[in-house]
Amino acid sequence: MEVLKIATAGSVDDGKSTLIGRLLYDTHSLTDDKIEAIRNSSRKKGYDYLDFSLATDGLVAEREQGITIDVAHIYFSTAERSYIIADTPGHVEYTRNMVTGASTSQVAIILIDARKGVIEQTYRHFFINNLLRIKDVIVAVNKMDLVGYDQTVFEDIKQNFERLNANSTYAEQNVSYIPISALKGDNVVAKSNEMPWYQGETILQHLGGIESTDVNEEGEVRFSVQTVIRPKTDEFHDFRGFAGKIKGGNLKVGDQVTVLPSMTTSKIESIYFYDKGYKEAEAGSSVTITLEDEINIARGDMLVKSNELPRVEKDLTATVCWMDSKQLRPGTRYVVQHNTNRVLSKIAEVGSVIATDFSGKKASDGTLGLNEIGEVKIKLSKPIFSDSYIANKSNGSFILIDEHSNTTAGVGFIN
Amino acid sequence: MDTTEQKDAKVFRANALESEAIYIFREVVAQFEKPVLLFSGGKDSITLVRLAQKAFWPAKIPFPLMHIDTGHNFPETIEFRDRLVKELGVELIVRHVQDSIDQGKVIEETGKYASRNTLQTTTLLDAIEEFKFDACIGGARRDEEKARAKERIFSVRDDFGQWDEKNQRPELFDMLNGKIEIGQNVRVFPISNWTELDVWNYIEQEQIEIPSIYFAHKRNTFLRDGLIWSAEDEVVFRAQDEEVQERTVRFRTVGDMSCTAAVESTANTIEKVVAEIRESKISERGARIDDKRSEAAMEKRKQQGYF
């Protein structure tokens, strides 16, 4: 079945968990024992309503503090399709976990408390969805029940948000506005009787109409080799298959391909998925291909169509979101992982820090701290075969791995 | 090669979840020295085996399977396990919780709710050390339990097997970072994003064979705390006043017998099982007593090295 991935964003107490709970509850995706567990925990906390955050906040520390620290993945489905919600934290200090959740999502729901309107946190959430180029953004104005379902409150917030949107660099982004009450269930799954002035879709209706295209389906074919399959059995003695996932476009038997970095060319001889051969395979497919010529190909090499070559560059300029408590400083070394390719790199320059309130770039002190986003120049020990993030999300992004701690310290979006 | 097949070949459109899982398997083999697939004989690990076959065909699965045997298995599961391994021609490693008990490393629980489920952790960590496994592939899914919902696909554990849930590595797009220190270990979950129903649909679609206890059968059982327990093995504690009755049941998960309850069911084909799961008002783990010990039972077990 088709899967649509959603990231939620909102500040503390905007009602994210309640919204998720409501979506699950109203689509009958919660089983009786889970509802019972939520009811028990809610009662223990002295609430007279079902506190759905007890279901979505999976860690003890989260339930103690009543905040979301790390991404939880939550599943629900309708007869038409399956949904995965990445429930991401709203706090500034967990920006990295928010980026983690949003990176694989196709839609973002940004929650706004109708009583508070657009606040600083909203800027950051929208900015990150802009930066990641999430195609569809739903601005859900929540707690409409607490403002008497007043249309002017909703229209004011919508106008403020539109002013923010005017500064966006991503003009193709679809932003829609829905007035809801997650607690009462207005316009989440069922249409609200309290807001006759709103003629638009409910959140679920809107989600149902969004086309589910994966990050890997965008742009031209980029086939990054994960591993080489050599069975060396009697039956498949000479089989040399290149296993990987097709990112962008499609591959056909007979396509003329160029192998990077060697720049050797060959033709696609066969495309296998398990034990069946196919004449063509589409983006997003994990296939195994063989070529007509014997070429030395290893993990990290990339196959592309010969008329669709990527950039081959040794100097990267990228927007980097920093995720490590150790600052990013010029002169330090990191491993750049780009698709399945790993290259040693040196940070050349941290140019400027980008304000997440859309006020533009600011001069930096030459470093990037945890959860900061900035323009970074990186020197690579070997060239990578890249595209801009705008042209191809999976080939236009990379991670920076700390050589000492091995952690994923940052993520970059190639300019 | 196989040109006859290619002549009438079609266009391949991926099932997103299947392609994602295959991609993860290939990353494991490329990034680690000594991976192993944790195999319990349950439907999720059986699904993993099929996905691994697909990932590396026409080569064999390039890592062994390992079963941490609590000694309280359903006999049907063991029989199935041994047959599958033979068919695939892969290596099977078995390590026994009983050995950990005999060595005095763990102490068997006693009483009405005694279970060996938690004891598995010690046996697993010892086996990881013994074979120097750097990646353990498991069939956990994020929809199973709220602590599981927080799990990364590549989940780094320290050299004590501990999960630091508050300091997990960011995981962006599909770039998986498996770089670790010697002694550390990564737990890998290729079907993280699958739901229980996705697994069942896949088993139906692929016609994957599963142990017979998943299908309705007659069994001697007794009731405790509203759940149905098997009375056919002495490892399940039964009080004298708990009356044995024959019921038509099946199992929804296959865990340690002492903590896995049955459900009343007449579903005796895969189609009927799928239909039943689709309509079910009880979650899969509703019949796993080990999760009901406390609000954070799973999180605590994971911190200690449970997979």
Q: Which of B145, B14, B228 is nearest to A56 (CA)?
A: B145
Nearest by Cα to A102 from A119, A90, A114, A112: A90
A36: CB partners within 8 A, 6+ apart: none
Would you state the pLDDT for residue B9?
A: 65
How many CB atoms within 10 Å of residue B7? 9
Phi (first) and psi of residue A220, to 5 degrees = -80, 165
Q: Does B294 touch chain A (CB under 8 A)?
A: no
What's the token pair of residue B268? 């005796």
Contacts of A401 in chain B (CB under 8 A): 177, 179
CA dist A73 and A100 (Å) reads: 11
Task: Judge if the upstream peptide bond of residue A261 is cis by omega within 30 degrees of 0.
Answer: yes
Note the pLDDT tens digit of each residue in A215-259: 778 889 999 999 999 998 889 999 999 999 999 999 999 999 999
Residue range A173-200, pLDDT digits in tens:
999 999 999 989 999 999 999 999 999 9
Give the integer Cα–Cα distance in Å for B273 and A364: 60
Calpha distance B202→B195 (Å, rounded) = 11
B175 contact residues in A (CB cutoff 8 A): 337, 339, 397-399
Residues of B in contact with A2 (CB under 8 A): 16
Dist. CA A174–CA A134, nearest whole Å: 9
- What is the value of ipTM here, to two decimals? 0.94
The residue of A44, A71, A98 whose CB has the most chain B CBs within 10 angstroms, and thus the best one to mutate to test that interface, is A71
Sign (positive or negative) of CA dihedral B296, B70, B106, B152:
negative
CA-based nearest distance B68→chain A, Å: 26
Residues of chain A contacting B169 with CB distance shorter than 8 Å:
407-408
Beta-carbon contacts of B24 under 8 Å, excluding residues fewer than 6 positions away, are B153, B176, B188, B189, B190
Subunit contact B296:A60, Cβ cutoff 8 A: yes
Quickly list H helices, chain B. 3-7, 16-31, 43-56, 75-88, 97-102, 120-131, 196-206, 270-279, 297-303
Whether the Cβ atoms of residue B81 and residue B91 lie closer than 8 Å to each other: no
**β-pair partners for A321:** A373, A411
pTM for the whole structure: 0.94
Q: Taking each helix axis from N to C terminus, what angle separates B43-56 and B75-88, rounded to the nearest 10 degrees?
A: 0
Tokens of B94: 């078995």
Mean pLDDT over residues A112-118, rounded? 95
Chain B partners within 8 Å of A276 (Cβ): 5, 9
Chain B residues with CB inside 8 Å of A278's CB? 6, 9-12
Q: How far apart (Å, rounded) are the C-alpha atoms in residues B54 and B36?
A: 17
| Residue B35 pLDDT greater than 70, yes or no | yes
Least confident among A93-107, A137-151, A329-343, A370-384: A93-107
Look at A226 and B23 and tell me if their CB atoms are within 8 Å.
yes
Q: Do B282 and A399 touch (CB under 8 A)?
A: no
**Res B27 pLDDT > 70:** yes
pLDDT tens for B276-303 read 988 888 777 665 555 555 667 777 777 7
| Long-range Cβ pairs for the range B2-10 (8 Å, 24+) | B2/A270, B2/A277, B5/A276, B5/A277, B6/A253, B6/A270, B6/A277, B6/A278, B6/A279, B9/A253, B9/A276, B9/A277, B9/A278, B9/A279, B10/A278, B10/A279
CB atoms within 10 A of CB A298: 10
Average pLDDT over residues A26-53: 84
Average pLDDT over residues B122-133: 95
Closest alpha carbon to B62 in B87, B33, B83: B33
Q: Provide, as residue numbers in chain B, all residues whose Cβ is less than 8 Å from the Cβ of A245.
A: 19, 23, 174
Burial class (CB in 10 A: 0-12, 13-18, 19+), A256: exposed
- pLDDT greater than 80 at residue A60: no
Tell me how far apart the alpha carbons of residues B278 and B281 are, in angstroms, rounded to a whole number: 9
State whether A103 and B172 contact (CB < 8 Å): yes
- Residues B194, A75: contact at Cβ < 8 Å? no
Asked if the Cβ–Cβ distance from B57 to A214 is below 8 Å, we say no
Which chain A residues are Cβ-neighbours of B190 within 8 angstroms?
none
Mutation for B interface: A227, A270, A414, most B CBs within 10 A = A227
Q: What is the pLDDT of residue B294?
A: 60
For residue B60, the SS3 value is: coil
- Our CA-based measurement puts residue B75 at a distance from the nearest CA of chain A, in whole angstroms, of 29
Computed over every residue of chain A, the mean pLDDT equals 92
CA dist B45 and B55 (Å) reads 15
Contacts across the A-B interface (CB distance below 8 Å): 204
Q: Is the per-residue pLDDT at B1 higher than 50?
A: no
Query: CA-CA distance, A75 to A20, in Å (whole number)?
Result: 10
B contact test, residue of A43, A340, A392 with most B CBs within 10 A: A340
DSSP string, A49-77: S--THHHH--SHHHHHHTS--S-EEEEEE
CB contact under 8 A, B150 and A276: no
Contact assignment for B26 to A226 by CB distance below 8 Å: yes
Over residues B188-227, the pLDDT tens digits come to 999 999 999 999 999 999 999 999 999 999 999 999 888 8
Contact (CB, 8 A) for A118 and A88: no
- CA gap B307, B298 in Å, rounded: 10
pLDDT at B229 over 60: yes
Give the model's confidence band at B4: pLDDT under 50 very low, under 70 low, under 90 confident, else very high.
Answer: very low
* Distance from C-alpha of A48 to C-alpha of B259, rounded to nearest angstrom: 33
Partners of residue B288 on adjacent β-strands: B260
CA distance B20 to A354: 33
B287 Cβ partners below 8 Å, 6+ apart? B227, B251, B252, B253, B260, B261, B262, B263
Interface probe with A: pick from B27, B57, B194, most Cβ of A within 10 Å: B57
Q: Which two tokens stand for residue A22?
A: 């409501």
Measured between CB atoms, does B303 come within 8 Å of chain A? no
The pLDDT value recorded for residue B290 is 54
The tens digit of pLDDT for each residue in A376-389 reads 999 999 999 999 99
Judged by CB atoms closer than 8 Å, whether chains meet at B299 and A60 is answered as: yes
| Beta-carbon separation of A276 and B9 below 8 A | yes
Dihedral pair phi/psi, residue B144, rounded to 5°: -70, -40
Q: Is the pLDDT of residue A135 over 90?
A: yes
How is residue A57 written in tokens?
Answer: 């906040």
Q: Is B299 helix (H, G, I), strand (E, B) or coil?
A: helix
Q: Would the CB atoms of B12 and A71 count as touching at under 8 Å?
A: no
B141: its two tokens? 């899914």
Closest CA to B25 of B191, B142, B222: B191
Give the total residue count for chain B: 307
Nearest to A243 by CA among A308, A292, A295, A298: A298
Q: Which of residues 124-183 of B touch A (CB under 8 A)?
A: 142-143, 145-150, 165-166, 168-175, 177, 179-181
User: pLDDT, tens digit, for every residue of B50-106?
Assistant: 999 999 999 999 999 999 999 888 888 999 999 999 999 999 999 999 999 999 999
A340 → chain B, closest CA residue = B175
